[in-house]
Amino acid sequence: MPRYNIIRAQRNAKKIGVVVKPSTRKGKKLDVFSKSGEKLASIGDVNYYDYTITRDKKKQANYKSRFAKTRNKVGTPSYFADKILWT
């Protein structure tokens, strides 16, 4: 069973102008691509649930606190994970 909701992830990705597809990298949930098809990052650990599934505000706050230093740096995997899996 996937530990993310692909529909919600795609909707969130569209808001920031990127495309997501199931990851080809072992242990990751999604690959993030630019509109031109360039791979930008692989995000999400397959062993853990994220906000697209749990909708748990406490887990969301914990994630955002844990990655506070990098989640606002545009282009980092943390940024994409925050905007796609934790929004």
13-46: per-residue pLDDT in tens?
Answer: 999 999 999 999 999 999 999 999 999 999 999 9
∠ Cα 44 47 53 (to 5°): 65
DSSP 49: -
Residue 57 lies in a domain: yes
Give 4's pLDDT tier (boundaries 50, 70, 90).
Answer: confident
Predicted pLDDT at 82: 97
∠ Cα 46 49 51 (to 5°): 130
Residue 1 lies in a domain: no
Predicted pLDDT at 29: 96
Count the neighbouring beta carbons within 10 Å of the beta carbon of residue 32: 26
Give 2's pLDDT tier (boundaries 50, 70, 90).
Answer: low
Predicted pLDDT at 1: 53
Residue 51 lies in a domain: yes
Predicted pLDDT at 3: 76
| Beta-bridge mates of residue 28 | 45
Going across the sheet that includes 39-45, the strands are 18-22, 28-34, 39-45
Judged against a pLDDT cut of 90, whether residue 80 lies above it is answered with yes
Q: Which domain holds residue 39?
A: 6-85
Query: Whole-structure pTM over 0.95, yes or no?
Result: no
Count of domains forming the chain: 1
